[in-house]
Amino acid sequence: MTEVEREGQIRSILVPVDGSQSSRRAVRLAAEMARAFDAELTLLHVESIEGFPTLIAEANTAQGDEEAELVLGENAKIARGLGIEPNVVLRRGAIASQILRFVAVRRPDLIVMGTRGLTRATGVLMGSVSQAVSRRAKSQVVLVR
């Protein structure tokens, strides 16, 4: 297949995951799409250290790593149940910024993400990650409720 023929084809799908119901629904949809398009699936979890002084954030890293591994493991199990072996990636930092950095480097063809990971109050204070990603990412974005 030539490069022109491959243009527009979905070869890689990114799913930022956070443990929410909408995130799990996004993983299911993305895994089904990955299977249909024979695309690579990557699950990305960003351990937020926003709003914490550096030393506190560093002190909580072990506990945060355990929680992040649980979130990634749970979502990887969903993908595997649908016949897809996902890549899993863990990052730390400002959630939307880390997702956008990953997208800028890896350039997935499609981003599938949930829209309800934060509580209403936290979402208002921190801004919506899904809105930030959908506005600023160069990739196509599908939002799942």
Give the pLDDT confidence of 54-85 residue by residue, as tens digits: 454 444 556 667 889 999 999 999 999 999 99
Q: Higher-confidence residue: 2 or 46?
A: 46
Q: If you search the block for the tokens 């499609």, which residue do you land on?
A: 110
Q: How confident is the model at residue 48 (pLDDT cuts 50, 70, 90)?
A: confident
At position 55, the amino acid (one-letter code) is: L
Distance (Å, whole) CA 141 – CA 22: 15
What pLDDT sits at residue 49? 76
Distance (Å, whole) CA 25 – CA 82: 12
Mean pLDDT of the chain: 85
Distance (Å, whole) CA 131 – CA 56: 28
pTM of the complete model: 0.83
Give pLDDT tens digits for 121-136.
Answer: 444 444 589 999 999 9
Domains and CATH numbers, the chain: 3-144 (3.40.50.620)
Name the DSSP letter for residue 8.
Answer: T
Which residues sit opposite 42 in a β-bridge?
14, 87
What pLDDT sits at residue 5? 45
- Segment 38-58 shows an average pLDDT of 76
Distance (Å, whole) CA 128 – CA 135: 11
Flag whether pLDDT at 38 surpasses 60: yes
